[in-house]
Structure 1
Amino acid sequence: MLNQRLSSYNKVVAIGGGHGLGRVLASLSFLGNRLTGIVATTDNGGSTGRLRQDQQTIAWGDLRNCLSHLTPRPSLSACLFDHRFTGTNELSGHNLGNVILHALDQLCVRPLDAVNLVRTILKINTSIIPMSEASTHLTAIMGCGKKVIGELNVDEMIEAPVALSLEPQVEATIEACLAIKDADLIILGPGSFLTSILPPLLLPKVTEYIRASQAKVIFIDNLTDEYSVANQFSIEEKIGWVNQIVGKDIISDVIQHCDIKSPAVTTKVCSGTKVNFHQFSLVSSHHKGLHDKLALGDAICSVSRFKALKRTA
C-alpha cells in the first residue's frame, strides 16, 4: 500500500481526458482535495455520442472515466458505475455511469453539480471539473480551409490539421479557471493529443489563466503510438502546438517512458525554449499501454520537486 505525503501548499491541476487523465489522477489521488482534474467534454462517440445526439447534453464519457479511475475498489458502486448494457435494445452499449450522470444533470442546476453528487456517492475527494458546462464539438481546420467537425472525424483524418477550434465557442467552467489560478503544478497528458489534451486549451479563459499562472507545467508523453493523425507529430511539435495555443512557452518539463534502471534527464530546445526531458521506467506490468500508477506518481513528484515521502509496504 502506498503511503504518500506532500507539503500542504501543493495544489495540482491535471488537464486532459479519457483514460490518460484518469491514470494521472489515480497516481496522485493521495493529494485528495488538493488535486483537480479538468476534463475534456468534446467526445462524440459511443454511449456518450448517443446521449449527446439524443439528449443535447455535454459529453459525459471522459468525466465518467476519471471518476471510475478514482473510485475505491473493489466495491458495488464501482461495478455499477462501470457497467455497460448488453443485448439488442436501445440500452445496448450504453454505460450506466454515463446514464447516471445525465440523469443527475436533469435533476440538478449544473452539470458540475451532477459530477459532485457522484463524487460524494463514490467517496472521491479529488475535484473533477468539466472544461465547460455547455455542449460543443471539436473542429479541425485543414490546410485547404476545410473543416472537420467532431472528435470521431478528427481521429480519422489522414492529413494533419493546421488548427483546432470549438464549435460553438463556449465558456470555461469558472471552477476550472480558479483551480488553475491556485495551482502549483499543471499537468498535460498523457492521452490523445488532438482530442483529449488540446480541447480544454481551446477555451480562451483557460489559456488566459494558464498564461497568468506561475505554476510549473509538465507534459506527460504517451507510452505507445496513437491510432490517429496525431501520431505524425513529434513530441517537440506537440510542445509547439501547446505553446502556440496558450500564447506562451509554458512547458518546462516532459516525462517519458524509457527502459532504464535509473531515471535520466536531457535538455532540448523546443520552440526556442529549453525543455527538460525526464526518462523513467513507467509501463504497468498489467498492460504495456498503461502507466504504472505508483511509478507515474513518483515521477511526477520527482520532476515537480515536491517534498514527498513515499514508502511501499
Structure 2
Amino acid sequence: MHNLTLADLDQVVALGGGHGLGRVMSALSSLGSRLTGIVTTTDNGGSSGRIRQSEGGIAWGDTRNCLNQLIAEPSIASAMFKYRFDGQGELAGHHLGNLMLKALDNLSQRPLEAVNFIRHLLKVNASLIPMSEHPIDLLAITARGKKISGEVAVDRLRELPAQMKLSAVVPATHEALQAIADADLIIIGPGSFLTSLMPLLLLDDLTQALRHTSVPIIYLDNLGRELSIAAANLSLRQKVIMMEQAIGREKVINGIIIGPGVTPGSISERIVIQRPLEAVGEQHYHDRDLLRQALDFILPLLY
C-alpha cells in the first residue's frame, strides 16, 4: 500500500518492558487511544522487587516507566508519580509511582483497573495493559539443568539458558489478547532481550494470538550492547529465531529496524531497515522522531 503511514492505522500494539516500550509509545503518542502497550510484569529487582516481596502481586516498575514517558502535561499528580525516595530509610529507592499502583491494585478488583485509574489521573490516552494480572517469575534452566529464578538472576547468566519458562501457567490479560486480535501493526522491542521481551513470549495464549495474526510484526532491535552477557552475545538472526520459536511460527516477524552498529547477517525474506536512530545525548536510546520516521518508512513495504 503506497504512502501508508502510522497515522492511517486504527490500532497499533507494542510489546516490551519499561524503558524500551516507554520510548516506543512516547514516539507514537500522537496516535492517542489507537496505541496500546502490553507490558512485561516479571521484574523482581529494585523497588518493584521489594514491593513484590513484601506485598505480593505483579511487578509494577515497567508499567510505571511507560506511564512516566507518556505524561504530556506536568501536574502535581505527575510530579508525585515520578517521585523517588532517596536517603537511607525504609523508603529509600522506592518510586512513589510503584507504591501508588500497588495501593490502587489493592483497592481495585484487578490490576488493569489500577493502571487505567493512573492513566486518567495523568491524562495518558494510550492504553497500557499488564501482560498478565497473575504474579509470575521468569525461570531459566541452564545446560547443566540448574534452575535460575527471577529476572535479576537471569540477567547475570554468562551463557544462554537451555530453556526459559514462567514460574506458573497463567493466562494473559484478556484485553491484551483482544488488542493483538484488533491490531493493524504489532511492534516488539526494544528492550532487554531475555528479561523484557522473552517473558511476554512465554505466555501461551499471548503467543497463540501472535501466531494467528495476519498483520505485520516489526522487531525493533536495541541500539547498544546489552548488559546481560548471555543476551549481548546473541546475533540479530539468533534473536529473531528465538522469538519465532517461542511464537511457534516461522517468519512471523517480517520487518526489522536496526541501528548502524548491528550486522544484519543472513536474515532472509525479511525487510530490514538500517539507519541512525540514537537520540542526541542519550546513548543507546532511540530518538523519538527518527524512530517514528523509520516505522513510517518500513510500513508500506510490509503491506
TM-score where L is the length of structure 1: 0.90
Match of 1:276 in 2: 271
Q: For 1:81-230, what aligned pairs fall within 5 Å after superposition?
A: 81-228=81-228, 229-230=230-231
Q: Which amino acid aligns with 1:137?
A: D
TM-score where L is the length of structure 2: 0.93
Question: What SS does structure 2 have at the residue aligned with 1:148?
Answer: strand
- The equivalent position to 1:258 in structure 2, one of 236, 248, 260, is 260
Asked if the contact 2:37–2:127 (Cα under 8 Å) also holds between the matched residues in 1, the reply is yes
Q: Describe the superposition over 1:198-247 as per-residue Cα deviations: whole angstroms up to 9, x where unpaired.
A: 11111110011111111101101111000102001001000010010011
Match of 1:52 in 2: 52
Q: 1:205 to 1:81 in 2, by over 3 A?
A: same
How many residues were matched structurally? 294
Shift of 1:258: 2.1
Q: Describe the superposition over 1:73-126 as per-residue Cα deviations: whole angstroms up to 9, x where unpaired.
A: 443332211111112221111100000000001111000000000000001110
Question: What SS does structure 2 have at the residue aligned with 1:222?
Answer: coil
Q: Distance in 1 between matches of 2:294 and 2:76?
A: 32
Q: Which amino acid aligns with 2:58?
A: I
Match of 2:68 in 1: 68
Shift of 1:280: 1.8
Q: Distance in 1 between matches of 2:212 and 2:168?
A: 25
Shift of 1:5: 7.1
Match of 1:262 in 2: none
Q: Distance in 2 between matches of 1:96 and 1:12?
A: 29
Match of 2:248 in 1: 247
Q: Distance in 2 between matches of 1:127 and 1:182?
A: 13
Structure 1: stretches of 5+ with no match in the other structure: 260-265, 307-313
Match of 1:285 in 2: 280
Q: 1:222 to 1:267 in 2, by over 3 A?
A: closer
Q: Describe the superposition over 1:146-192 as per-residue Cα deviations: whole angstroms up to 9, x where unpaired.
A: 11110000000112112210002211000000000011111111010
Match of 1:232 in 2: 233
Asked if the contact 2:6–2:299 (Cα under 8 Å) also holds between the matched residues in 1, the reply is no
Which range is displaced more, 142-151 or 59-68?
Answer: 142-151
Structure 2: stretches of 5+ with no match in the other structure: none
Q: Distance in 2 between matches of 1:70 and 1:196?
A: 19
Which range is displaced more, 75-84 or 142-151?
Answer: 75-84
Work out the percentage of aligned pairs sharing the same amino acid: 47
Q: Distance in 2 between matches of 1:5 and 1:191?
A: 21
Shift of 1:143: 1.2
Q: Describe the superposition over 1:33-61 as per-residue Cα deviations: whole angstroms up to 9, x where unpaired.
A: 11110000000000000000000111000
